[in-house]
Amino acid sequence: MKYLCNQCKTVATWNYAPGKGDTYCCDIHVPRGCSCNLIIDDECDSTGVEETDEQGRLLPCCEWNYSNNGFRAE
C-alpha cells in the first residue's frame, strides 16, 4: 500500500522529513520555494534567485524527501 497526498488522495511522492511521518504530498501540492534553494554565486553570496526544476517550478524545501514511485506503507 502506498501513502496518499494529504490534500487530494493521489499517490504521495513527497514526505516532510522533520514531521511526525504523516505529512505526505503529491507533486502538485508540495509547498515550493525556500531560502535553502537560493543560488549562490562565485563569491559565495546569495543571488536572491531560487533554483527551479526542469519545468521551471521552484523547488520544495530540502527537508522534503522525494520518491518517484511514491512512499510505501510498511
- How many domains, the chain? 1
For residue 74, tell me if it sits in a domain. no
For residue 27, tell me if it sits in a domain. yes
pLDDT for res 2: 93
Report the predicted TM-score, pTM, of the whole model to 2 decimal places. 0.86
Q: pLDDT tens digits, residue range 18-51? A: 978 899 999 999 999 999 999 888 888 888 889 9
For residue 7, tell me if it sits in a domain. no
- Mean pLDDT along residues 54-74: 93
Domain of residue 19, residue span: 14-66
Q: What's the Cα-to-Cα distance from 45 to each of 27, 32, 41, rounded to whole Å?
A: 30, 22, 5
Percent of the chain beyond pLDDT 70? 100
For residue 73, tell me if it sits in a domain. no
* Residue 60: pLDDT over 90: yes
For residue 5, tell me if it sits in a domain. no
For residue 8, tell me if it sits in a domain. no
For residue 39, tell me if it sits in a domain. yes
